[in-house]
Chain A
């Protein structure tokens, strides 16, 4: 039997045009032995949820620099839970003001990382979020 591998979706919603941060995280996750499904720029919440479903991912990472997180993230969470993937942890990287962080966490976001966060920390957080979700599942 082949070893199970974590499959992580990394997506870049919103209209801003560069994905350097998302790629850095994608590479760190890959180097940690995970399979990263990378969808590229300008993803709508619908596209992200659909990719998460087809790829049956263990976690979703969103990179958001546009400031539109309060519009985008709740929508992704809602779509995931509507399609039966409410247990899939969602983590965010980007510039998120303090007052929004607690609100996003209340909505169920499992990790929020500002610019310059150590990539090892991100990798570990993803791993722990997936483990916690698996435990909750059983």
Chain B
């Protein structure tokens, strides 16, 4: 396949065009992805999530800038990393249109040939990412990007998708949003490998840092048992359980604290590699992705076999209160409904 060869050679336009095909779920896009898949596995996938406006894009801009100039660590400095950024913003539920504005904060890294930024809209998906995000990240991984940042929609909750997709999840908060409390409610702390309090130049940052640290301490006694859902998303990681998420300040506008955040992200990845947590996460990620696809494909196949409108009439029977949803579905599957 021509485009696959070009992408492996580093052709950026071919890459951009394939990303579009994959995003639109075109069969030719999936074919190319299958051909590329054996080349995946080289990337450190870093999720960046948090409430709207906390500075996720600004922080990604800084992290990428720093990584390009200094690498992950002093020793690895000489080698210049290829970095990809996938930034997701919400689609309007009414028009399907979207305003993708994360690039506004990434102008420092625009012209850098070692960085590839792709904006995408959620297109109706609810978990903070789009349906096609995982496939697009795979394409970028195969194309040789060694660090891939995935910026979620700033919903501030229910963003478990990114916990499944990323090796390292950075949750970004900011002072004065009261979002320390909201974060706890939303369960977002449980997905954090690293907590950043950005906008540390603003008043109240110390308070936010302190209360987040306190909450984390309460939530993680030495033998912390991860809640079952998280356990499922992150794999059986007795090993990863002894990683305690650092809570650290940054100022994304000036770059303060960015070098230290790079260090924590790097430390976390090394911890995952050494503890076996990385393999566990990869397994959990692939498993959950495949479960989702299986579900989707079974449903599609099933509905195709049904006589015209039988699903709709089952919906009708539930709306009319003749049947409970579970009963209606069972009868559909057993072929009993008329």
Contacts and interface: CB of A to CB of B under 8 A. Distances in A.
Which 10 pairs across A and B sit closest by C-beta, in order of nearness?
Answer: A30-B97, A40-B104, A56-B16, A35-B98, A1-B25, A33-B97, A56-B20, A47-B110, A33-B95, A33-B96
A40 B103 CA distance: 8
A37 B24 contact: no
Interface in B75-119: 91-92, 95-101, 103-104, 107, 110-111, 116-119
B267 interface: no
Interface of B: 12-13, 16-17, 19-20, 23-26, 91-92, 95-101, 103-104, 107, 110-111, 116-119, 121, 123, 131-132
The binding surface of chain B is classed by DSSP as mixed
Contacts of B101: 38, 40
Contacts of B23: 2
A32 B13 contact: no
A30 B24 CA distance: 18
Contact of B99 (A2, A38, A85): A38
Contacts of A3: 96
B287 to A, nearest CB: 24
Given A53-B13, A53-B16, A54-B116, A2 B103 contact: no
Contacts of A2: 23-25, 123, 131-132
Given A2-B25, A5-B121, A46 B16 contact: no
B235 to A, nearest CB: 30
Contacts of B95: 30-33
Interface residues of A, number: 34
A102 interface: no
Contacts of A84: 13
A55 B99 contact: no
A95 interface: no
Contacts of A65: none
Of A7, A38, A54, A55, most buried by chain B (CB within 10 Å of CB) is: A54
A51 to B, nearest CB: 7
A50 B104 contact: no
A122 interface: no
A39 interface: yes
Contacts of A83: 13
Contacts of B103: 37-40, 51
A36 B25 contact: no
A106 interface: no
